[in-house]
Amino acid sequence: MDFTFKEEHVAFSDSIRKFLMVEAAPEMLREIWETESGRSKTLREKLAEQGLTALSVPEEFNGIGLGDLDWVLIHQELGYYAIPDSLTDTAYLATYLLSHLSTDASLKKEWLPKIANGSARVAVGHPRNPLVADAANADLLLLWHEDEVHAVRRKQVQLTQHPSIDMSRRLYQVNWTPSDTTRICPARIGKALWEGLVDRAALAAAAQLLGLAQRMLDLGIDYAAQRKQFGKPIGSFQAVKHHLADVAVKIEFAKPVLYRAAYAVMREQPRRSVHVSHAKLAAGDAAWLAARKSIQVHGAMGYTWEADLQMFMKRAWALDAAWGERAFHKKRIADFIYADQAPLGPGETFT
C-alpha cells in the first residue's frame, strides 16, 4: 500500500506546469477565445512538442505509451490553465478508442501517428453529451451509434454550432448517417469500449475541475492579499479567510478521490466506474464552491469581463455537466451502495 505518486509522474507534471505558466497566460487565452475557430495552431504545436499529444499513443505508433495515472496529473494542469484545445478528446479519449480497436488496423496506422505528432484532431461523440466538442476542427470524428463505434471524416458530417458561455468550448450538433462503411467496431465489443471511454472522459473532466478549483482559489488568495479596505488587505478579515479555507478543504479531500479513481481505471478494477463518479462529483463540488467563493472575494471585480476569474469559472460551470451530469454519477454510486451485500464500511476501501 503506497498512496503517493512516483517521482517521475510528479516531475513530468511539474515540467508541464512550468511550460503552461509561460505559454498559457490569461491574455493568450483571451486572444484564442476571440478567434473564429477558438483554437490556436501555435499552442497545439507547443503541446505536441511537450509530448502531450503522444502521451498515450502506443509506442508502435510513435507514441509514448503512458496511461491514466500520468494523464490525471496532466489534466489537473490543463484545468489550472484552462487550456483551450481538444487535446483531451484527441490524445486521451480518441486515442483510447483507436488503440483498443482490434478490427481495423489500417485506421490505427493512419490516425495514431498523426495524433502522436499533433497533426490530427479527433472529436468524440457519445450520447452522454448532447453536443460534440470540437467537431468543426476535427479531421476525424469517432461517434457512438447503438454501442457501435463509427469513424466519420469531417466532410461527411453537417454541423451546427451552439455557443457556450465558456468561449473556449466549441460545441456542435452533428448530423451524420451511420452505415456499414462508417462502422469500425460492433456493439458487442463497442459497449465495453464506450464504458471505458465514458469513465476516462469523466475522469479527465474531474481532474480539470480540480485544477480549475485550485486556480480559482489562487486567484481569490491573490486578490484578497492585494485589495485593501478599512486600511487592511481584505484577506486579513476572518469572513474572507473562511471562504477561502472552505475551498481549500474541499480540494484537499477531492484530490485523493481523483487519484484513486485514476488508479482504478488504470488497473481496470471492478469498481472503477463508482470511483470515477465519486471523483467527478467531488471535483465538481470543489470547483463550483471555488467559483462561488472566489467571485465573492473578488467583489464587483469578479462580476466583470476584465477579471481573469471569469475564464476559469465558466469552464468549471460547463465541465460539471460534461460526460455525465450529477444525477448520472450519483445514480452510479447509489446503485453501488444500495445493492445487497455491497462492500461498505471500514476495511472495504481498497477491496
What's the length of the chain? 351
Beta carbon of residue 10, minimum distance to another protein (angstroms, whole number): 11
Tell me how many residues contact another protein (CB under 8 A): 51
Q: Judged by CB under 8 A, which of 42, 186, 253, 299 binds another protein?
A: 253
Decide if residue 305 touches another protein (CB under 8 A). no
Beta carbon of residue 328, minimum distance to another protein (angstroms, whole number): 13
Decide if residue 246 touches another protein (CB under 8 A). yes
What is the C-alpha to C-alpha distance for residues 230 and 33, in angstroms, rounded to an integer? 37
b/e map of 16-31 (b: 16 or more CB within 10 Å)?
Answer: bbebbeeebebebbbe
- DSSP 8-state assignment for residue 236: G
Decide if residue 245 touches another protein (CB under 8 A). yes
Decide if residue 130 touches another protein (CB under 8 A). no
Q: Judged by CB under 8 A, which stretch of 144-152, 174-182, 203-211, 334-342 contacts another protein?
A: 334-342
What is the C-alpha to C-alpha distance for residues 103 and 15, in angstroms, rounded to an integer? 37
Q: By CB under 8 A, what part of segment 98-117 binds another protein?
A: none
Q: Judged by CB under 8 A, which of 102, 106, 175, 238 binds another protein?
A: 238
Decide if residue 284 touches another protein (CB under 8 A). no
Q: Judged by CB under 8 A, which of 61, 259, 312, 323 binds another protein?
A: 259
Decide if residue 237 touches another protein (CB under 8 A). yes
- Phi, psi (deg, nearest 5) at residue 268: 55, 45
Number of C-beta neighbours around residue 152 at 10 A: 23
Beta carbon of residue 301, minimum distance to another protein (angstroms, whole number): 18
What is the C-alpha to C-alpha distance for residues 341 and 343, in angstroms, rounded to an integer? 6
Decide if residue 272 touches another protein (CB under 8 A). no
- DSSP 8-state assignment for residue 94: I
Instruction: List the one residue out of 343, 105, 308 whose CA is nearest residue 218.
Output: 308
Distance of CA 152 to CAs 47, 122, 195, Å?
25, 10, 20
What is the C-alpha to C-alpha distance for residues 243 and 224, in angstroms, rounded to an integer? 11
Which is closer to another protein, CB of 83 or CB of 264? 264
| Residues at the contact surface with another protein, assessed by CB under 8 A | 1-6, 69, 217, 221, 224-225, 232-233, 235-238, 240-242, 244-246, 248-249, 252-257, 259-260, 263-264, 278, 281-282, 330, 333-334, 337-338, 342, 344-350
